[in-house]
Amino acid sequence: MKRQHLISRPLLLLLLVFAMVGQNASTPPVSESAEEPTETRTPADKAATPSVAPGGANVALIKIEGMIYGFTLESLKRRVDRAMEGNASMIVLELDTPGGEVMAALDIAKYIKGEITVPTIAWINDSAYSAGILIASSCNRIVMSPASTTGDCAPIVPGQELAPTERAKALSPLLEEFRDNARANDKDFALYHAMCVLGVEVFLIEHKTTGKQKLVNQIDKALMVDGKLPESNVTNKAFGRDKQTGDPILDEVGAVSRDVALDEDFGQWKLIKQIHDGKTLLTLNQSRAVEVGLAETDTIRTEADLKKYLNANIVAPITQSWSEDLAGWLTHPAVRAVLVLALLIGAYAEFQTPGLGLPGAVAATALVLLIGAPFLIGLAEVWHIILILIGIGLLFVELVVTPGFGIPGVSGIVCILTGLTLAIIPTTGNGPLPLPAPEMYGRLQVTAMWMLLSFIFGVGGMIAMTRYYGSIPGLNRLIFKEPTEEEKRAVHYRAQNTESQVNLTLGLKGTAATALRPSGQAKLDGQLVDVVTNGGLIDKGATIKIIEVHGNRVVVDEA
């Protein structure tokens, strides 16, 4: 009896231990439940949780402003290389751009993700539209300044409506790049979808069990909240239906975001609110961008704010070279309009005076800047420069070979203005004659307007020079004017290669020593004298007479 009692006590203890172990196995520790959930509840919470801890980073600040085109990538690469040589541990791209060429933006996005080996942050200050938001989405994080905006990324051709196939072709690589960026940086693709496609609505929904929130489009919302699509709509073939949504835009790109689960989550979500109604392309100011989780803060006004927010060791701006800055400034349409004006006025004044002087130097400098600046930064194509040179040649033919102003002159002006306009417009294609990228047609129109205005003002300036500038000291030597009575009586001219004086008076006759086209030499008063006609052409040996004298300028005509 005593032995049985001794055996039963260990057995009872063993059973008690098993019971305690079982209880511990079925009930999670308090510390583990306190750490749950590990996922943030809202998109805003998600954005506010930095994916990169920047404490003590050496930050290189690279600004991307203005139009996005091929040279933007080349400039970015050079500045990133300089930043990495300076031991930068983080790169911030400060964006202030209205957009630009889609293919250039895609190349920049791929470069940021594939070639930059340190964390990247996009600082939208003050705007990042179209190509700008594509570049921003490729960075690890996005921050914004107060009163900044972003979004509106649909590929368009101003003044034209793309056919469905063309629009789908343009959207396909754009949306896929956004989708990849959204997945890589833990963002909701629906936001980018609504920026690119008109008609995409955005909803905030919440999981009924976990409390997780997500931004989805209207098709995802119907599936995840209602558990099925309305009968009037259709899903895509991933759900076993062959019908279409009825919206040609959504059908082209695929309505479902494909970032949601395709099984048990359907019908397990509830609607919180609508973020975007799809009537316009999605554009977000800084506060809304933070609210929907696109940006993590909207308080970065200055570099000092950036340094404090990132807890950085240093923020060092990496600027463009002086030549890049100068070339960029010289390619602004307004600046080019001033250069065209200088070219026209300078060339006109030079043709009115013999020899090469200050007006000719001004015109030549303006021409070099007009051609060289866009060629330096990769905007001008070879055929643009050839077109400009052809135009100059036609004008020369008009002035020297054929009297008056006709087809060669008009054609020359058209060629010059066309070449100067196209020289600052990014092109697409690799053929012998690359044409402006479709998304650059708006800039093309603005540039053409500036060129036309500069030509109009140039013609007006030439007329004003002829009529009114004779009273301005210094400029009166550049224009025709009626000779004074004293000039009509006699003018002394020092003949070429001789010390003798030639007495030139109005009406004095002589002989054309060379063909005058319109300038050349004539034999007057027994000496060779540099002369010019009033626009006509005179053959060698013809009898001529003096009709005007302006200082060293002698104007003749056939007797």
Q: Which of 300, 333, 362 is nearest to 141 (CA)?
A: 300
Long-range contacts (CB closer than 8 Å, 24 or more residues apart) made by 240-245:
245/219
Under DSSP, the state recorded for 389 is: H
For the entire predicted model, the pTM comes to 0.66
Last residue of some domain: 269, 297, 320?
320
Residues 327 and 385 in one domain: yes
- Mean pLDDT, the chain, rounded, equals 77
Q: Is residue 19 part of a domain?
A: no
pLDDT tens digit string along 176-208? Answer: 999 999 999 989 999 999 999 888 999 999 988
394 burial via Cβ count (<10 Å: 0-12, 13-18, 19+): buried
Least trusted range by pLDDT, from 186-195, 312-321, 526-535? 526-535
pLDDT tens digit string along 154-165? Answer: 877 655 666 777
pLDDT of residue 225: 87
pLDDT at 460 over 80: yes
What whole-number percentage of the chain has pLDDT above 90?
A: 27
Residues 408 and 520 in one domain: no
pLDDT at 255 over 70: no
Residues 382 and 430 in one domain: yes
CA–CA separation, 343 and 71 (whole Å): 27
Q: Is residue 224 part of a domain?
A: yes
Give the residue with greater pLDDT, 362 vs 32. 362
pLDDT of residue 486: 52
pLDDT of residue 396: 78
pLDDT tens digit string along 21-71? Answer: 344 333 333 333 333 444 556 776 666 655 544 567 899 999 999 888 888
How many distinct structural domains can be found in the chain?
4
Q: Which of 48, 36, 44 is nearest to 209 (CA)?
A: 36
Q: Is residue 31 part of a domain?
A: no
Residues 271 and 181 in one domain: yes
Residues 223 and 353 in one domain: no
Query: How would you classify residue 374: left for phi > 0, otherwise alpha for psi between -120 and 50, otherwise beta?
Result: alpha
- Find the CATH number of the domain harbouring 64: 3.90.226.10
Last residue of some domain: 303, 320, 337?
320
3-state SS assignment for residue 367: helix
Residues 359 and 450 in one domain: yes
What whole-number percentage of the chain has pLDDT above 70?
A: 72
pLDDT at 131 over 60: yes
Residues 302 and 222 in one domain: no
Asked, as a colleague might, if the bond just before 518 is cis with ω within 30 of 0, I would say yes
- Find the CATH number of the domain harbouring 493: 2.40.50.140
Give the residue with greater pLDDT, 434 vs 117. 117
Residues 250 and 360 in one domain: no
Give the residue with greater pLDDT, 538 vs 122. 122
Residues 147 and 216 in one domain: no
Last residue of some domain: 427, 445, 476?
476
Give the residue-averaged pLDDT of 514-530. 81
Residues 145 and 288 in one domain: yes
Q: Is residue 32 part of a domain?
A: no
pLDDT at 322 over 60: yes
Q: Is residue 221 part of a domain?
A: yes
Residues 315 and 334 in one domain: no
Residues 327 and 442 in one domain: yes
Give the residue-averaged pLDDT of 110-126. 94
Give the residue-averaged pLDDT of 313-330. 84
Residue numbers of the domain that contains 198: 170-280
Least trusted range by pLDDT, from 113-117, 151-155, 378-382, 444-448? 378-382
Q: Is the dihedral of CA 283, 285, 289, 291 positive or negative?
A: negative
Query: How would you classify residue 355: left for phi > 0, otherwise alpha for psi between -120 and 50, otherwise beta?
Result: left
Q: Is residue 34 part of a domain?
A: no
Least trusted range by pLDDT, from 66-80, 141-155, 446-460, 525-539? 525-539
Tell me whether strands 202-207 and 149-151 are parallel, antiparallel or unpaired. unpaired
